[in-house]
Chains A and B, each alone.
Chain A
Amino acid sequence: MIRLLAARLVQIAVTLALLSFAMFLLIGLMPGDPIDLALAGDPRLTAEDAARMRALHGLDQPLATRYLAWSGAVLRGEVGYSRLFAQPVAQIIGPALLSTLVLLGAAVAVSALVGLSLGALAAMRPRFAPFADAVAILGQSAPSFWLGILLIIVFAVTLGWLPAGGSAEEGGLAALPYLVLPVATLALANLAGYARHSAAELTQVLQAPWITAARARGAPEGRILVHHAAPNAAVPVLQVAALDAGSLVGGALITETLFARPGMGKLIYDAVMGNDTNLALVALLLVALVTMLATLAADLAQRALDPRLA
């Protein structure tokens, strides 16, 4: 367990280092450095001013030197400023990460609940299996931005029950209506994995000899499902949860952009669109780190549940 943990943490660190280097190079290729933008904003700046500012900010240095300086600063915990929001990056990222984690947590809960119920229904009552299958394939295949737009049209425009986007001024219950449509969008796209895998696993487990033995002892079907079948089917399903972490974060980028919800996904999108290199990089690396830690946590939980894997 300890060795696995250490190996995985090293792997995460290496992945982050490679990713940050690749992205730094690429963003270096993006149009417009900050000085170009300053030039466009202020026509009185001369070529000498631009050269002086480039030297001042180190933008005249080669890309490798700039990368080393930047990564050194990030490792020391200095993540710098956002050009787009004119604030320290650390101050912007805190609330955004919290908002995204709330969104993702709710979406995982809803999609696991609905997906596992569908899977259990398909396994216990085989005549409903095609229905669960169809829901899963449709949920998997529909682009989530389109689902989101349809939900907005139905529930915000036509029925007027829920806000079409944005976020509440204050927290607590007032924030709940703003959460419903984004969570529904994410959960619809995400429940397919849970439904398909739990149906497959449960169907297989329900044919095991100990299930027959439990039935022979007269255990009710509900008890068999919860006590005998579910724990055995849980491990592969956790694997799905771990594998889906990345696509879930991708879904957060879409839903946050679509519903104008401040969060990490929208932050990355806005930073990329607004040429805010530093914010885009720091946010991307943080999101990658959180995703990989979530995957690791799901893997560890899997091993804790199944002693054969440890």
Chain B
Amino acid sequence: MRLRLGLLLLGLLAAGGIAAPWVAAWLGQDPFAPDLFNRFAPASPANPLGTDDLGRDVLLRLLQGARVSLAVGLATALAATLLGTAIGLLAAWRGGLVDALLMRLADGMLALPALPVLVVLAAADTGRIGLPRGEPTSDILRIVAILSVFGWVGVARLARAAALSVLARDYVRAARALGAGEARVLARHVLPNIAGPVAIAAALTVAGAILAESTLSFLGLGIAPPAASWGNMLANAQDLVFSAPWVAVWPGLAILAAVAGCTLVADGLRR
């Protein structure tokens, strides 16, 4: 029930993001071109959700934002899951000093206030290493990279705990007794059996990444305009609370739906 509801929410958002160019063509509007004669237009057949402070169609920007936010969420979860599973497996398999060092590192990162650190990380100048700022693709890469710095921790802890219990099972001992190499034991026996907890951690990582991206974009440190992201659509909503309060509603609802969708999926997987 929860799993289905979550997948439905995410599916709708993903479908909207994929359909963005066709919706734009059908409405005959450009989500990036300002139209200053048409600012804050109310909802109408041409602009189903009205227009923003530069006269751009809100619905089209929401759909563009879905592409960016979901791409950031999924890419971060992919990177964090790969890295986290590898680290968790390594810690559980090697044990001893490696385990202690990796898990103390994870504890340390978990205790840190992530957002202030992310704010400092996001403000670093990537231009000096050849990633220009302000271009959508490099902005997305930059955000995914800095979110992965924190994202692996949750995955690694869950993967380690699950791998520890699997490594103590009889079938692992049996596989070793049959002469299976360690690589085979890890790949064929441990990895498939920790997929459940890792999937839950991955779903939660998507939720966290979408929230963090929107927060950084809201603060002006994430995806830079004119590219649309749900966070940066809200960036000037605060200045407009007196003149156009309705501008703030839709992007926030979109973030809420995406994050709640991921949380529901994680909850559903857990049961």
The chain A residues found within 8 Å of chain B, CB to CB, are: 11-12, 14-15, 18-19, 23, 26-27, 29-31, 137-138, 140-147, 149-150, 152-153, 156-158, 164, 243, 245-247, 249-251, 253-254, 257-258, 265, 268-269, 272-273, 280, 284, 287-288, 291-292, 295
Contact residues in B for A143 (Cβ distance below 8 Å): 211, 214-215, 218, 231, 234, 252, 255-256, 259
What are 26 residue pairs bridging A and B, where the CB atoms are less than 8 Å apart in the complex? Answer: A15-B108, A23-B120, A29-B128, A31-B127, A137-B263, A137-B264, A141-B207, A141-B256, A141-B259, A142-B256, A143-B234, A149-B237, A150-B248, A150-B252, A153-B248, A157-B242, A157-B245, A158-B245, A245-B113, A249-B116, A258-B238, A268-B116, A273-B220, A284-B120, A288-B113, A291-B113
User: How near does chain B come to A259, taking the closest CB pair, in angstroms?
Assistant: 10
For chain B, give the interface size range: 35 or more
The answer to whether A247 and B241 touch across the interface, beta carbons within 8 angstroms, is: no
* Docked pose: A250 CA to B256 CA in angstroms: 18
The answer to whether A153 and B123 touch across the interface, beta carbons within 8 angstroms, is: no
Contact residues in B for A18 (Cβ distance below 8 Å): 108
User: Closest A-chain residue to B257, C-beta based?
Assistant: A141
User: Closest B-chain residue to A265, C-beta based?
Assistant: B116
- With A157-B245, A250-B113, A250-B114 known to touch, is A149 a contact of B234 (CB < 8 Å)? yes
The answer to whether B125 and A15 touch across the interface, beta carbons within 8 angstroms, is: no
* Docked pose: A140 CA to B218 CA in angstroms: 18
The chain B residues found within 8 Å of chain A, CB to CB, are: 104, 107-117, 119-121, 123-125, 127-129, 207, 211, 214-215, 218-220, 231, 234, 237-238, 241-242, 245, 248-249, 251-252, 255-256, 259-260, 263-264
- Known contacts A29-B129, A250-B114, A284-B117; can you find 9 more A-B pairs with CB under 8 A? A11-B104, A15-B108, A27-B124, A30-B123, A137-B260, A243-B110, A254-B115, A254-B215, A280-B120
* Docked pose: A152 CA to B255 CA in angstroms: 19
* Docked pose: A249 CA to B245 CA in angstroms: 28
Contact residues in A for B115 (Cβ distance below 8 Å): 247, 249-251, 253-254
User: Closest A-chain residue to B6, C-beta based?
Assistant: A137
User: Closest B-chain residue to A189, C-beta based?
Assistant: B211
Contact residues in A for B237 (Cβ distance below 8 Å): 149
Secondary structure type dominating chain B contacts: helix
In order of increasing CB-CB distance, the 3 nearest A-B pairs are: A250-B115, A146-B252, A249-B113
Q: Which of A23, A141, A258, A292 has the most CB of B within 10 A?
A: A141
Contact residues in A for B241 (Cβ distance below 8 Å): 149, 152-153, 156-157, 164
Contact residues in A for B109 (Cβ distance below 8 Å): 15
The answer to whether B116 and A14 touch across the interface, beta carbons within 8 angstroms, is: no
The answer to whether B123 and A273 touch across the interface, beta carbons within 8 angstroms, is: yes
* Docked pose: A137 CA to B6 CA in angstroms: 12
User: How near does chain B come to A154, taking the closest CB pair, in angstroms?
Assistant: 9
User: How near does chain B come to A218, taking the closest CB pair, in angstroms?
Assistant: 36
The answer to whether B120 and A138 touch across the interface, beta carbons within 8 angstroms, is: no
User: Closest B-chain residue to A192, C-beta based?
Assistant: B263
The answer to whether A141 and B108 touch across the interface, beta carbons within 8 angstroms, is: no
User: How near does chain B come to A175, taking the closest CB pair, in angstroms?
Assistant: 22
* Docked pose: A157 CA to B109 CA in angstroms: 39
User: Closest A-chain residue to B208, C-beta based?
Assistant: A247
User: Closest B-chain residue to A248, C-beta based?
Assistant: B113
- A11 partner, pick from B107, B121, B123, beta carbons under 8 A: B107
The answer to whether B245 and A153 touch across the interface, beta carbons within 8 angstroms, is: yes
* Docked pose: A253 CA to B116 CA in angstroms: 7
* Docked pose: A140 CA to B219 CA in angstroms: 20
User: How near does chain B come to A305, taking the closest CB pair, in angstroms?
Assistant: 20
- With A146-B234, A149-B248 known to touch, is A29 a contact of B114 (CB < 8 Å)? no
* Docked pose: A23 CA to B242 CA in angstroms: 39
User: Closest A-chain residue to B258, C-beta based?
Assistant: A141
User: How near does chain B come to A264, taking the closest CB pair, in angstroms?
Assistant: 8
- B252 partner, pick from A149, A152, A250, A257, beta carbons under 8 A: A149
* Docked pose: A254 CA to B259 CA in angstroms: 18
Contact residues in A for B116 (Cβ distance below 8 Å): 249-250, 253, 265, 268, 284, 287-288
